Amino acid sequence: MINLQDEAQPKGAKIRGNKPVDQLEAANRFIAASAHQKMHDQRLWDLRKKRDAQMHLIPEWEELRDLASEIKNHTLDFLADYLEEFERNATANGVHVHWAKDAQESNQIISDILKQHDAKTLVKSKSMLGEECCLRQHLEQDGVKVIETDLGERIQQLDHEDPSHVVVPAVHKTRTDVSKVFEKTLNAQKGNNDVHYLAEVQRETTRPYILNADAGMTGGNFLVAETGAVVVCTNEGNADLSANTPPLHIVTVGIEKIIPKMEHLAVFIRLLSRSALGSPITQYTSYFRGPRKDGEMHVVLVDNGRSTRLANKTFKPGLKCIRCGACMNTCPVFRRSGGLSYGSVYAGPIGLILSPGYNTHKYRNLPFASTLNGSCTNVCPVKINLHEQIFAWRETLAKDNELSLSKRVIMKTLGQLFASPRMYRTAIQTGDRALKYLPHFMVYNRLNSWGRQRDIPSTPKETFHSWYAKNYQKKEKRDE
Sites of contact with ligand SF4 (CB under 6 A): 321-327, 350, 379-382, 384, 386
- CA nearest to 129, candidates 412, 346, 437: 346
Nearest approach, Cβ of residue 23 and ligand SF4 (Å) = 18
User: Residue 251 Cβ, how far from ligand SF4 at the closest point, in Å?
Assistant: 20
Strand blocks (E) in 25-64: none
- Shortest gap between Cβ of 418 and ligand SF4 (angstroms)? 32
Sheet holding 145-148, edge to edge: 96-100, 296-302, 248-254, 215-218, 121-124, 145-148
Choice between 37 and 389, CB closer to ligand SF4: 389
Closer to ligand SF4 at the Cβ: 202 or 304?
A: 304
Least Å distance between CB 230 and ligand SF4? 19
Sheet order of strands, 222-224 included: 258-259, 222-224, 229-234, 284-288
The CA distance from 277 to 232, in Å, is 16
What is the largest distance, in Å, between two alpha-carbon atoms of the chain? 95
**Closer of 110 and 171 to ligand SF4 (Cβ):** 171
Burial 450-460 (b: 16+ CB within 10 A, else e): eeeeeeeeeee
Q: Output the smallest distance, CB 378 to ligand SF4, in A.
A: 10
Nearest approach, Cβ of residue 272 and ligand SF4 (Å)? 9
- Does residue 194 contact residue 204 with C-beta atoms inside 8 Å? no
* C-beta pairs of 311-316 under 8 Å, 24+ apart in sequence: 314/389, 314/392, 314/396, 315/353, 315/357, 315/389, 315/392, 316/76
Given the complex with ligand SF4, which of 43 and 145 has the nearer CB atom?
43
Q: Which is nearer to ligand SF4, 243 or 253 (CB)?
A: 253
Cβ 349 to ligand SF4 shortest distance, Å = 6
Question: Whose Cβ is closer to ligand SF4: residue 29's or residue 383's?
Answer: 383
Nearest Cα to Cα of residue 343 among 129, 27, 33 = 27
Q: Which is nearer to ligand SF4, 273 or 286 (CB)?
A: 273
Gap between the Cα atoms of 431 and 465, Å rounded: 15
Q: From 19, 4, 5, 16, select the one nearest 365 (Cα to Cα).
A: 19
DSSP secondary-structure letter at 19? Answer: S
Shortest CB 126 distance to ligand SF4, Å = 14
State the nearest-atom distance from the C-beta of 15 to ligand SF4, in Å.
23
Nearer to ligand SF4, 87 or 132 (CB): 132
3-state secondary structure of 272: helix
What span, in angstroms and rounded, lies between the C-alpha atoms of 46 and 301? 35
* Residue with smaller CB distance to ligand SF4, 133 or 324: 324
Rounded to a whole number of angstroms, the minimum distance from the CB of residue 379 to ligand SF4 is 6
Q: Which is nearer to ligand SF4, 9 or 375 (CB)?
A: 375
Rg (CA), the chain: 25
**What single DSSP character describes residue 215?**
E
Local structure of residue 122 (DSSP, 8 states): E
